[in-house]
Amino acid sequence: MPHVLLIEDDASVRDGMELVLRRHRYEVDVAGSGEEALALLDGPDGGRIELAVVDLMLPGLDGFEVCRRIRARSTMPLIMLTARGDDHDVVTGLEAGADDYVVKPVTAPVLEARIRAALRRADPVSRPGQRAGVEEYAGLGLDRSALTVTKYGAPIALPPVELRLLLQLSASAGQVFSREQLLESVWEHGFLGDSRLVDAAVARLRAKIEDVPARPRYIQTVRGFGYRFGPL
């Protein structure tokens, strides 16, 4: 049974989401504030939590900072809830480490579908481009069977969406992938997805694997089309 942490300060919204998720056979922990959520993650059952849903407009410690602090300690999938879908909120949340977002008011089927997709992305069995052995790309090592990434021999911890994105691009080195193709294969959103998810994930990934993120060697932008993997 998947274990989800729901962080929402509005009790009526929180209770409704919890009820829906439990009906879909999720185990749910709830928190009404960022501080309470971080305390749960530090508690004895915190290691069992597989995904967090984070409302951005929390009292005290806001959702942006909660995402940053969770991401600093964990690679679990993070889905943020935003009331407006405002460009600034979305971009800031994605930069803080969120993998996906849902605009409130959110319907139960949409939220459950996004959670299910995020958990699939975190499932090693569903990762793309499985091949045996370690691949070396100018200092970047990819072990597809062990699902590990190293840079000059040092391990790099990647959240599932960033790992899946890297595996997807590198499985077809040199091929240009449009943002729409990546939304379909990595986020499972199809053409109704938000291309900002792709751009933010690429930026976070570059910050971890590139020597100089502003001059990427591995994940290159093909202006007007999308991205390709091709170490220089």
Instruction: Over range 66-76, report the average pLDDT.
Output: 95
Which tops the pLDDT comparison, 107 or 124? 107
Question: Under CATH, to which class is 125-229 assigned?
Answer: mainly alpha
Considering the four listed CATH numbers 3.40.50.150, 3.40.50.2300, 3.40.190.80, 3.40.50.620, the one that applies to the domain covering 3-122 is 3.40.50.2300
Pick the range with the lowest mean pLDDT from 26-35, 41-50, 121-130, 221-230: 121-130
Asked whether this chain's domains 3-122 and 125-229 adopt the same fold, the reply is no
User: How long a stretch of residues is the chain?
Assistant: 232
Domain boundaries along the sequence of the chain: 3-122, 125-229
pLDDT at 124: 61
Q: Listing from the earlier edge strand, what are the strands of the sheet with 219-222?
A: 177-178, 226-229, 219-222
* Helix, strand, coil in percent for the chain, rounding step 5: 45, 20, 35
pLDDT, tens digit, 9 for 90 and up, residues 166-197? 999 999 999 999 999 999 999 987 655 688 99
pLDDT, tens digit, 9 for 90 and up, residues 116-162? 999 988 876 455 555 556 899 989 999 988 889 999 999 999 999 99
